[in-house]
Chains A and B, each alone.
Chain A
Amino acid sequence: MHSPPMPLASASLWTTAWQQLRRNRLAMVCLGIIVFYALVAVYAEGVYWFYRLRQQTPPYKVVEFESRFAQPSWRHPLGTDSLGRDVFRQVVQGTRIAFEVGILTSLIAIPIAVLLGALAGYFGKRVDDLIVWLYTVFDSIPGLLFILAIAIVVGKGLLGVCLGIGLTTWVGLCRLIRGEYIKHRDRQYVLAARVIGVSDWAIMFRHILPNVLHLVIISFSLRFPGAILTEVVLSYLGVGVQGEPSWGIMISDAKLRLWQGHWWELAGATTAMFFIVLAFNLFGDALRDALDPKLRTAEAKTA
């Protein structure tokens, strides 16, 4: 007699989540958009370094004064700005800045959140008190003002923007990670590891961390759009990236030009930004539902 084939016993969390995501057509479209933007960003990074190393003016900075404020045309698909620079090329370069901001802020915020959350949840007691106190303090300071204050004190520019956003946005993830570590620290696999003499450090980061890694992935995809939107505000307030075309600078430059009827700079940067932020928002939601459906409300409640 034939028994039906056993389902694969150990389809991992990642495999199941991926299969669920694959069936979600909207999420796949969004992932496609994200990959496309990432490729554009890599291309723009290449252009930037190519001209920088050869010490030439990159094409997106070439000033053609006679053709300033040109309407969109074949030569300039999105027209030109007040100095006759090509807007389309600037939008492409803006993608590079957006990805740099998104990735760098994550590289600052996520390690802080994971390290502090793990220490607090695993050790508890005094360590926990101290870290909870620290993130309560950070959580109390008004977000945008805090970011601005850090960016000004550190100095205007990419570093200031990334430090500002990075140092102020780790609290939510830290709280979630701490909660997970509290749940995991008394599980049997942890007790077993402790009995055979595995060090605390190894238990925290080799044994428990893989079990909470999905939170990090979700947090990464949900923080990206926030970082891009914040960069625009910071650029408008004059503490953003200096001397390079970012979407934020283009949008804030458009403030006066719009009134003169030059809409293309605003339209180009806004459209470019809209699709990547939308794609990240929708993909992040789908990813969260696939990896950890319970998180939806946990996040809503701490938001």
Chain B
Amino acid sequence: MMAYIIRRVLYVIPVVFGVALVTFILFNVVGWNAASQMLGKHASPEEIAALQERLGLSGPLYQQFSHYLWQIVTLDFGRSYATNQKISTLILNGILPSLSLTVPIFLIDLLLAIGIALVAAYYRNTWLDRSIVVLAVIGMSISYLVYILVGQYLLAYRAGMFPIWGYETAKYLLLPVIIGVVSGLGSGVRFYRTVMLDEMYQDYVRTAFAKGCTQRSVLFKHVLKNAMIPILTSVVLSIPFLYTGNLLLENFFGIPGLGYLSVEAINSADYPVIKAVVFVGSVLYVFASLLTDICYALVDPRIKLR
């Protein structure tokens, strides 16, 4: 067990290195002429060279890569090309607004989706279950953008129930949170319903029914507990995405989080910022999956060394 955990922890190193390598190849090798893209057609060679120097795009590749690795180790990703602010500060400032949006969405979605999925599993193969599934798939088939556009137009602009844009009080977060919850509900319900129905057909459930357990006690005492493993995995693995925020919602409602930062960076071709946000997001994911695997190993003795 200990050997497994140690090996799993050490595996983080090659994966983080890989993420660094992929982002490096993307931005420094494929995107080598970023400087001339940013400056436009009329830039002089000197201007381009100066900007390349600033972006860490000059010199031989191995030198650029070691510079990038040094940035990672010191957690100093240089300055934004568009605003000249320190990127590490930008990211730190963006985390709180992002979390204030994504955490409520995530928690409400989780509770609602599991609740509805339980109802569907309780009434499985009846009209209620079927209409829940159909509604879930319909919800999944509508573009995220449409939820936001229509929600903002109808509820904030026409009905005037919510502020349209801004990030001042908790009231400003209400509508983005509602839209986020509604748009994510379909896929959530379908996922948790699948997980629970999968448990429903296990032998132990049949045994429990045979013993005379009621539908309700089987569902809550047996199925829900066993379904917790896939549920927990998906929960832990979505935690890093809470940090990277929600690109579209933050952009539409003017919430100054990391999603907003990313969209701004994309619009101004601010490569250093995009690179840093992608890298930090990936590292968070790597650690979340490490955490999941360790919890698994602690909880489930069947997981052994591979």
Contacts and interface: CB of A to CB of B under 8 A. Distances in A.
Contacts of A290: none
Contact of B15 (A140, A259, A281, A300): A140
Contact of A232 (B22, B27, B143, B157): B143
Given A141-B278, A148-B274, A303 B27 contact: no
A192 interface: no
Contact of A233 (B34, B248, B282): B248
Contacts of B274: 145, 148-149, 152
Contacts of A252: 145
B13 to A, nearest CB: 11
Interface string B205-243: 000000000000000000000000010011000001100
Contacts of B80: none
Interface of B: 14-15, 18-19, 21-23, 26-27, 30-31, 34, 137-138, 140-146, 149-150, 153, 157, 191, 194-195, 198, 230, 233-234, 240-241, 244, 247-248, 262-263, 266-267, 269, 274-275, 277-278, 281-283, 285-286, 289
Nearest to B277: A145
Interface string A227-269: 0010011001111000000001001101100110000001000
Contacts, number: 131
A301 B18 CA distance: 24
B27 A296 contact: no
21 contacts: A133-B14, A137-B19, A138-B22, A140-B285, A144-B247, A145-B262, A146-B278, A148-B274, A149-B275, A153-B26, A232-B144, A232-B145, A233-B144, A254-B149, A266-B149, A274-B141, A278-B137, A282-B137, A285-B137, A297-B198, A301-B233
Given A145-B262, A236-B248, A297-B194, A137 B15 contact: yes
Given A236-B248, A297-B195, A303-B234, A142 B141 contact: no
B18 A133 contact: yes
Contact of A142 (B14, B30, B31, B241): B241
Contacts of B262: 145, 148
Nearest to A255: B149
Contact of B146 (A238, A251, A297): A251
A145 B233 contact: no
A136 interface: yes
A129 to B, nearest CB: 9
A134 B145 CA distance: 32
Contacts of B289: 140
Contacts of B137: 278, 281-282, 285
Contacts of B153: 258-259
Interface in A38-64: none
A270 B248 contact: no
Contacts of A140: 15, 18-19, 282-283, 285-286, 289
A83 interface: no
B27 A153 contact: yes
Nearest to A163: B30
A256 to B, nearest CB: 10
A154 interface: yes
Contacts of A259: 153, 157
Give chain A's interface residue range (CB within 8 Å of chain B): 35 or more
Nearest to A150: B26
Contact of B145 (A145, A148, A236, A274): A236
Nearest to B191: A300
A277 interface: yes
B149 A133 contact: no
A273 B144 CA distance: 12
Nearest to B247: A144
A233 B278 contact: no
A225 interface: yes
Contact of A238 (B22, B241, B267, B277): B267
Among A133, A149, A274, A303, which residue has the most Cβ atoms of chain B within 10 A? A149
Contacts of A148: 262, 266, 274
B244 A142 contact: yes
A144 B146 CA distance: 18
B143 A270 contact: yes
A175 to B, nearest CB: 14
Contact of A237 (B15, B19, B26, B263): B263
